[in-house]
């Protein structure tokens, strides 16, 4: 978004104003890039300046997205971007009400068994990746949170991992179990990281989330796990296994950094042990048990 280089394209006053509006509100760089991309796509569809759009243009754009097979998360991302653009940058709040949020099908998260998690961790290619995956599972961290951990974030006295600026730009503490601390100490003795706990190919930079994704996918395939696995699968498994062990769901909510309990509650749908341990009311209906009939003489 910088115009300091000679090859950079000039930025229109409207785009510059939107970037300034997002900067003032502290939007992360990724969010800014996403919002700009969505408004750019709308502009291409419109064929003229986006601040001249009509309610019918907004309706037509969403219909066009649907016909092109754009998925609900992307459509809703465009709604958020266009609402910000119209309300904040263009001061046209009445236009935003013509955008519609698309309902998304609710899918249950993929969860690994504890045996599958163990196989995945043991097969990780080297102590750095084993430690990184152990953090994802042992503390339930998001992949971006794992990648951006610093050595100084390990608080072995309080047995917590400091997560700086996680999702929603919030700081929080993650779990640091004794076994996870051991794995991290093993990695530290071998890798001697200084700033970033998991440095990338350039030691001055942290490992990328793409690297972690690739390692998890490749390792899962190598050990014969046929489920669709990603680093986030380890976070899902962390929450589900805690729930199956009887951990209070509000404690899991804090560990995951969820702002709403409803988000955490979905793990109850995949916690199979919880369902197995529940006694069905059908089993209480003793009259349904077949009675033995004495044979006729």
The string of pLDDT tens digits covering residues 39-67 is 999 999 999 999 999 999 999 999 999 99
pLDDT value at 4 more than 90: no
Residues of the chain with CATH 1.10.150.130: 13-96
69-73, 103-107, 152-156: least confident range: 103-107
Residues 202-260 have pLDDT tens digits of 989 999 999 999 999 999 999 999 999 999 999 999 988 988 888 888 888 888 888 77
In the structure, what pLDDT confidence band is assigned to residue 286 with cuts at 50, 70 and 90? Answer: low
> 55, 62, 57: which is closest to 98 by C-alpha?
55
Q: Which CATH architecture has domain 13-96?
A: Orthogonal Bundle (1.10)
User: Does the active-site annotation cover 38?
Assistant: no
pLDDT exceeds 70 at position 93 = yes
Question: Is residue 64 flagged as an active site residue?
Answer: no
Instruction: Determine which one of 15, 128, 235, 236 is catalytic.
Output: 235
Is 258 tagged catalytic? yes
Which pLDDT belongs to residue 9? 64
Look up 267 and say whether it is catalytic: yes
Question: Is the pLDDT score of 99 beyond 80?
Answer: yes
Q: Is the pLDDT assigned to residue 5 strictly greater than 60?
A: no
Which CATH number is associated with domain 114-277? 1.10.443.10
Q: Mean per-residue pLDDT for 84-107?
A: 91
Residue-level pLDDT at 297: 58
Q: Choosing from 83, 167, 213, 266, which is the catalytic residue?
A: 167
State the catalytic residue, choosing from 15, 130, 142, 236. 142
pLDDT, tens digit (0-9, with 9 covering 90-100), for 266-277: 776 666 665 566
* Annotated catalytic residue within 17, 83, 162, 258: 258
Is 98 catalytic? The answer is no
> Quick one: tokens of 91?
């001061």
Q: Is 142 an annotated catalytic residue? A: yes
Q: What is the mean pLDDT of residues 92-121?
A: 90
Question: What residue ranges of the chain are covered by domains with CATH 1.10.443.10?
Answer: 114-277
Residue 6's pLDDT is 41
- Residue 28: per-residue pLDDT: 83
């Amino acid at each position: 978004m910088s115009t300091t280089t000679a090859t950079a394209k000039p930025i229109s006053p409207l785009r510059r104003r939107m970037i300034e509006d997002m900067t003032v509100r502290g939007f992360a760089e990724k969010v800014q890039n996403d919002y700009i991309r969505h408004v750019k796509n709308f502009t291409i569809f419109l064929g003229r300046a986006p601040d001249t759009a009509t309610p019918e243009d907004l309706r037509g754009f969403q219909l066009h997205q649907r016909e092109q097979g754009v998925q609900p998360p992307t459509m809703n991302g465009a709604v958020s971007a266009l609402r910000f653009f119209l309300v904040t940058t263009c001061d046209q709040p009445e236009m935003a009400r013509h955008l519609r949020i698309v309902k998304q099908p609710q899918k249950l998260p993929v969860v690994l068994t504890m045996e599958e998690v163990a196989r995945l961790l043991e097969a990780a290619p080297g102590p750095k990746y084993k430690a990184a995956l152990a953090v994802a599972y042992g503390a339930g961290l998001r992949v971006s949170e794992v990648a951006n951990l610093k050595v100084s974030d390990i608080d072995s006295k309080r047995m917590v991992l400091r997560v700086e600026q996680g999702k929603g730009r919030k700081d929080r503490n993650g779990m640091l179990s004794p076994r996870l601390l051991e794995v991290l100490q093993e990695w530290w003795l071998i890798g001697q990281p200084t700033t970033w706990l998991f440095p990338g190919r350039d030691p001055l930079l942290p490992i990328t989330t793409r690297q972690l994704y690739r390692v998890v996918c490749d390792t899962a395939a190598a050990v014969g796990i046929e489920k669709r696995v990603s680093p986030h699968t380890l976070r899902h498994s962390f929450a589900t296994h805690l729930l199956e062990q009887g951990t209070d769901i509000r404690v899991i909510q804090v560990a995951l950094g969820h702002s709403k309990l409803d988000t955490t509650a979905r793990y109850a749908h995949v916690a199979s042990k919880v369902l197995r341990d529940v006694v069905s009311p059908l089993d209480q209906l003793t009259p349904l048990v077949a009675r033995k009939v004495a044979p006729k003489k």
